[in-house]
């Protein structure tokens, strides 16, 4: 039999608790709202309470006897809309909904979110507080789930110094009083399950701090989707249902990305690779980009694509390096499902996808991570530790367990959910050194008095250990510009554990040399040979990245000295030398078509340049270099050991000529490379070689096919069986002006 209702004058809740809920200052609204056992005025039973500021009247629909439910009126205890219904002699839980009617007579029903138990388990809370929940993105943020038989969205956020946290959005008119969250205890976690919410809802967390009454609306740090800029709210998104087709790629990935495999990376900024004027913002979508990039890469022969950060960011001019959405692919190009399709499409076509990932700093936008709960939660409070003044950004507090867990979870998220093949970690040098870009007095030493950031070092080691443990075969790549030892060595040997390290020394020296007038290059010959002194101390990647073609540095073509012909010849020679040098390769978009202008993030590349044969020739050269690099084991198989490299001529500074040999694992698997960095053809140029026979000229950067003058060796040259420079045979070569030639010995011996 249904329980009777108590008299309207009976109250089971204190006026103070009512005021705290009405004014959205209660630290745990679940103690007040929803169903509760009560004892008041010598009466016992069950109370159901709700805060309904828009309601003129409200009823509890008792569903214990089924639909449509018995209508039980609620009593208004506060003029702002706090209602209560008391059921006498009824202590057991029963199903119900709340019916409300506003002042215009409009009515609607809702499932009370405060009748639901916790979603986060005690074990979740323990791991999250400890900083070892490496799938934290499955628990924090917004998730469409079924809970206690109801479909809805579970929200959870970390804000330990908040007095109150609420979920706000269109569904509650952005009113922080309506959906305050449950306080889960000392770990500072808050959660709320809101039934009947669906994918696509926009939301933020309204946080009222315990300090100084600070109140702010924050985007969800763990959001899977964000609104399109300039809007900054998070969007409920279910990312669990994408149908992947890349099983073949994933099965072979570990071998395809091994240190003995060819890795040639095309670095791309999706917002400016190509644009479409007929699109509202000019951006191609992830799906359009996938189709067009696959077609383009099929012609160019790169093995991988690296994306400048597509993690959500508010400012286009940051190129993505001022990230606010560490779990959210940018909405500029479509939905998370569209991005998954992008990766899947590249994988099916046989291309790896690497993401730029930015754990070194984050922007100070109010809706982001900065001063998150009224305290310096994610960043250091002391600006000598917590600010990058050069960039106007904040530095993560790597010593805080929850912050480390946030970043580690982000890295693992992209590898797991989006099948990403590698992470290029931005600005590692700024993480390693406490005095990075700081003057005396602007930084604090570590506990031993040194300038090493011990907490960041420990974080980077753990990052690499986890990435390689959970996702064998992925690449982790450090943008690290100093002489820090062991960046790409395993952590168990004292290294940081990265797969590869950018060779910034090679890049700087090579570009300085390449921009010199050829007549002066002989005085800078050591800038080319110096890189081989340290080339095998790390697993190096040779980068000609976006950083080299912005901020007044000029495009790669524009850097080159000489007249028009010499500029193109110099650029072709630079690429020929780079692709032969030990180390994996990276080239920024537009460099392969010899773009004249510096890169501009707001505009498409100058694809119209390809109507001229000089530009198209550079593009053809890049395709042939990549194909040769992939097909010849000598050019990639032994990249990180002296066994894979041998100088044939390194002292001819007078003629600015270099010659060297690359080796594969097999003794006779070799490639001879000769570089002439002057515009003077060299006739009868002798170099010693270990094998006799015919050497085929498999690539010549001066070929007319690439826009050159066709000076070379008519396709092949035969050795002389006379010792030279300590080797049993030698070649007499015709070296092209500002050219690089690749010579491969024919297996047929010389007569």
Residue 628: in which H helix or E strand, if any? helix 613-631
Question: Beta strands 75-78 and 82-88: pairing type?
Answer: antiparallel
What letter would DSSP give residue 463? H
- Distances 542 to 188, 516, 559, 642 between C-alpha atoms, Å: 44, 20, 18, 17
Three-state SS for 277-328 is CCCCCCECCHHHHHHHHHHHHHHHCCCEEEECCCEECCCHHHCCCCCCEEEE
Three-state DSSP class for residue 347: helix
Query: In the Cβ-directed half-sphere of 596, how many Cα atoms lie within 13 Å?
Result: 9
Give CA–CA dist 629/301, Å, rounded: 9
Give CA–CA dist 480/470, Å, rounded: 24
Give CA–CA dist 29/38, Å, rounded: 16
Of the candidates 247, 367, 265, which has an alpha carbon nearest to the alpha carbon of residue 315?
Answer: 367
In degrees rounded to 5, what are phi and psi of residue 411?
Answer: -60, -50
Give CA–CA dist 56/106, Å, rounded: 10
Confirm whether 298 is a catalytic residue.
no
Confirm whether 538 is a catalytic residue.
no
Out of 306, 338, 356, 426, the active site residue is 426
Burial class (CB in 10 A: 0-12, 13-18, 19+), 76: middle
CA end-to-end span of the chain: 109
Three-state DSSP class for residue 128: helix
> Greatest CA span in the chain, whole angstroms?
115
Pure H helices in 115-186 = 122-130
Give CA–CA dist 102/69, Å, rounded: 20
Out of 191, 373, 402, 479, the active site residue is 479
Give CA–CA dist 143/137, Å, rounded: 9
What letter would DSSP give residue 479? -
Of the candidates 565, 560, 616, which has an alpha carbon nearest to the alpha carbon of residue 593?
Answer: 616
Of the candidates 345, 315, 344, 347, which has an alpha carbon nearest to the alpha carbon of residue 332?
Answer: 315
Q: Who's near 241: CB < 8 A, 6+ residues apart? A: none
Give CA–CA dist 659/644, Å, rounded: 14
Give CA–CA dist 467/479, Å, rounded: 17
Give CA–CA dist 96/481, Å, rounded: 63
Q: In 159-242, at which residue ranges do the beta strands (DSSP E only) sit? A: 162-169, 182-183, 189-195, 202-209, 215-218, 234-235
In contact, 456 and 478? CB cutoff 8 Å? no
DSSP per position, 694-714: EEEEEEETT-GGGTS---S-T
Residue 40: in which H helix or E strand, if any? strand 34-40
Place of tokens 């499932």: 111
Q: In 421-537, at which residue ranges do the beta strands (DSSP E only) sit? A: 422-425, 475-478, 500-502
User: Annotated catalytic sites, by residue?
Assistant: 426, 479
């Amino acid at each position: 039999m249904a329980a009777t209702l108590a008299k309207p004058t009976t109250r089971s809740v204190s006026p103070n608790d009512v005021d705290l809920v009405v004014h959205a200052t209660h630290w745990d609204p679940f103690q007040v709202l929803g169903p509760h056992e009560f004892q008041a005025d010598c009466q016992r039973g069950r109370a159901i309470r709700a805060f309904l500021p828009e309601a003129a009247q409200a009823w509890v629909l008792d569903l214990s006897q089924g639909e449509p439910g018995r209508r039980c009126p609620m009593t208004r205890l506060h003029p702002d809309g706090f209602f209560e219904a008391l059921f006498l002699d009824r202590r057991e839980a029963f199903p119900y909904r709340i019916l409300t009617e506003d002042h215009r007579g409009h009515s609607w029903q809702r499932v009370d979110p405060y009748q639901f138990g916790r979603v986060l388990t005690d074990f979740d809370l323990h791991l999250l507080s400890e900083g070892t929940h490496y799938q934290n993105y499955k628990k924090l943020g917004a998730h469409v789930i079924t809970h206690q038989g109801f479909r809805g969205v579970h929200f959870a956020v970390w804000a330990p110094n908040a007095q109150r946290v609420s979920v706000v959005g269109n569904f509650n008119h952005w009113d922080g009083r309506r959906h305050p969250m449950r306080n889960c205890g000392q770990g500072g976690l808050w959660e709320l399950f809101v039934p009947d919410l669906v994918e696509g809802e926009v939301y933020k967390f309204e946080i009222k701090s315990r300090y100084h009454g600070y109140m702010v609306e924050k985007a969800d740090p763990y959001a899977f989707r964000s609104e399109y800029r300039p809007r900054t709210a998070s969007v409920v998104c279910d990312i669990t249902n994408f149908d992947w087709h890349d099983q073949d790629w994933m099965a072979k990935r570990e071998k395809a990305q091994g240190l003995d495999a060819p890795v040639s990376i095309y670095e791309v900024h999706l917002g400016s690779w190509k644009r479409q004027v007929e699109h509202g913002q000019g951006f191609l979508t992830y799906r359009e980009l996938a189709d067009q990039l696959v077609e383009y890469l099929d012609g160019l022969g790169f093995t991988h694509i690296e994306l400048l950060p597509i993690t959500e960011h508010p400012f286009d001019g940051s190129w993505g390096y001022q990230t606010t959405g560490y779990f959210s692919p940018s909405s500029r190009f479509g939905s998370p499902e569209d991005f998954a399709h992008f990766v899947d499409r590249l994988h099916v076509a046989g291309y790896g996808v690497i993401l730029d990932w930015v754990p070194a700093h984050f922007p100070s936008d109010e809706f982001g991570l900065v001063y998150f709960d009224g305290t310096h939660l994610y960043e250091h409070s002391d600006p000598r530790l917590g600010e990058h003044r050069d960039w106007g950004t904040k530095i993560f507090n790597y010593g805080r367990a929850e912050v480390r867990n946030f970043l580690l979870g982000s890295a693992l998220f992209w590898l797991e959910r989006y099948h990403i093949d590698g992470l290029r970690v931005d600005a590692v040098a700024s993480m390693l050194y406490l005095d990075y870009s700081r003057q005396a007095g602007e930084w604090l030493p570590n506990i031993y008095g040194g300038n090493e950031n011990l907490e960041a070092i420990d974080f980077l080691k753990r990052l690499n250990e986890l990435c390689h443990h959970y996702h064998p075969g992925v690449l982790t790549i450090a943008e690290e510009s100093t002489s820090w030892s062991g960046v790409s060595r395993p952590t168990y040997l004292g290294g940081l554990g990265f797969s590869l390290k950018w060779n910034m020394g090679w890049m700087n020296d090579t570009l300085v040399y390449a921009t010199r007038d050829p007549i002066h290059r002989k005085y800078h010959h050591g800038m080319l040979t110096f890189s081989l002194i340290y080339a095998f101390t790390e697993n190096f990647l040779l980068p000609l990245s976006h950083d080299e073609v912005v901020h007044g540095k000029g495009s790669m073509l524009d850097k080159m000295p000489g007249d028009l012909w010499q500029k193109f010849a110099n650029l072709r020679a630079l690429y020929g030398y780079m692709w032969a040098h030990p180390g994996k390769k990276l080239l920024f978009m537009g460099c392969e078509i010899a773009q004249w202008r510096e890169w501009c993030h707001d505009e498409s590349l100058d694809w119209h340049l390809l109507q001229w044969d000089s530009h198209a020739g550079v593009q053809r050269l890049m395709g042939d270099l990549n194909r040769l690099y992939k097909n010849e084991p000598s050019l990639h198989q032994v990249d990180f050991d002296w066994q894979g490299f041998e100088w044939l001529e390194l002292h001819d500074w007078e003629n600015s000529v270099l010659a060297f040999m690359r080796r594969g694992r097999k003794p006779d698997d070799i490639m001879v490379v000769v570089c002439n960095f002057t515009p003077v053809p060299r006739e009868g140029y002798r170099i010693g070689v270990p094998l006799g026979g015919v050497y085929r000229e498999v690539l010549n950067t001066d070929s007319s096919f690439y826009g050159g003058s066709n000076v070379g060796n008519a396709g092949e040259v035969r050795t002389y069986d006379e010792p030279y420079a300590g080797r049993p045979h030698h070649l007499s070569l015709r070296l092209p002006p500002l050219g690089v030639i690749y010579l491969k010995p024919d297996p047929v011996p010389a007569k």
